[in-house]
């Protein structure tokens, strides 16, 4: 299982060492960075390189808006807890440029046509970081891929709707 950047690593493993994998789950991933992903990454790298220190509460609120669905944002009690967690677990600014540079993926879709292992591509309906259509494109590029879209969750869909994600993954792994 790989989500977002972890999915990129999983896909590259499927190309480089397919014998190590029998099947793979890929959540919130794409085969090439689009204009929004490229711009978000460049903006975050520029901010990290500027040396500006963002207060934890600002970082938490920004992460919530970027990664959670409207459904989660409208759950007042749950949101308060999530904001507290996001405030305490903000990203380490020194790691941001290296990670974000990896998110700007050139078009790897032609390469992913060589993946032979069964894959489940999971998109999250309200994901603003990797919207569902790039995940659909990814699934279409991998010959043995199935696609599912989990409603009512954002980029952190596995945290927002764990039962739905687990059901999809268990169904895939049991198949």
Q: Which of 4, 41, 69, 135 is catalytic?
A: 4
Tokens of 117: 């292992």
Distance separating alpha carbons of residues 77 and 56, to the nearest angstrom: 20
Give, to the nearest 10 degrees, the angle between helix 96-103 and helix 5-16: 60
Question: Which residues 6+ apart lie within 8 Å of 72 measured at CB?
Answer: 78, 79, 82, 153, 154, 160
Name the phi and psi angles at 23, rounded to 5: -160, 160
Distance separating alpha carbons of residues 38 and 16, to the nearest angstrom: 25
Q: Which of 41, 126, 155, 156 is catalytic?
A: 155
Q: Contact 28/157 with Cβ under 8 angstroms?
A: yes
Strand order in the sheet with 2-3: 2-3, 24-27, 119-124, 145-150
The answer to whether residue 155 is catalytic is yes
Q: Which of 41, 69, 126, 127 is catalytic?
A: 127
Q: Which of 156, 160, 115 is nearest to 138 (CA)?
A: 115
Among all residues, which ones are annotated catalytic? 4, 127, 155
């Amino acid at each position: 299982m790989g989500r977002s950047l972890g999915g990129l690593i999983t896909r590259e493993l499927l190309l480089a060492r397919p014998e190590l994998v029998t099947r793979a789950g890929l959540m919130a991933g794409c085969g090439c960075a689009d204009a929004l992903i490229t711009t978000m990454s460049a903006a975050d790298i520029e901010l990290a390189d500027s040396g500006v220190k963002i207060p934890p509460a600002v970082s938490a609120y920004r992460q919530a808006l970027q990664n959670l669905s409207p459904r989660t944002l409208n759950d007042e009690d749950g949101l308060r807890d999530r904001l507290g967690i996001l405030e305490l677990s903000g990203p380490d600014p020194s790691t941001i440029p290296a990670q974000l540079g990896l998110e700007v993926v050139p078009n790897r879709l032609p390469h992913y046509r060589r993946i032979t292992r069964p894959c489940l591509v999971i998109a999250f309906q309200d994901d603003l970081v990797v919207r569902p259509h790039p995940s659909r494109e990814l699934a279409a590029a991998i010959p043995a891929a199935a696609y599912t879209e989990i409603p009512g969750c954002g980029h952190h869909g596995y945290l927002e709707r764990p039962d739905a994600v687990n059901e999809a993954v268990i169904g895939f792994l049991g198949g």
